[in-house]
Amino acid sequence: MPIIEFTAGKLTKEVKEKLITQLTDISVEITGIPKHLFFITINEKPDEDIAVGGVSVQKIKEELNNQK
């Protein structure tokens, strides 16, 4: 029973459906494990809970918007 966990910021329903389908399909192709045995979890995190280089994604987005 393979489990694939995908963590990201806010995602649309369409993006989540595509992730579920494509992550499952490529994993089956690579491993040969039957599709019905895969579990996929999508964990959405708010921008203030994700950081890159010590700076929250929320602040990075704010800075990028201010540069426009």
Average pLDDT over residues 23-46: 98
Report pTM. Answer: 0.78
Percentage, residues of the chain above pLDDT 90:
97
- Do residues 18 and 54 make contact, with C-beta atoms less than 8 angstroms apart? no
Average pLDDT over residues 48-52: 94
pLDDT band of residue 11 (cuts 50, 70, 90) is very high
Report pLDDT for 16.
Answer: 98
Spell out a b/e string for 21-43, using b for 16 or more CB atoms within 10 Å of the CB, else e. eeebeebbeeeeeeeeebebebe
- pLDDT of 27 over the 90 cut: yes
User: What's the CATH number of domain 3-67, 3.40.190.10, 3.30.429.10, 3.30.1490.100, 3.30.1330.60?
Assistant: 3.30.429.10
- pLDDT of 68 over the 90 cut: no
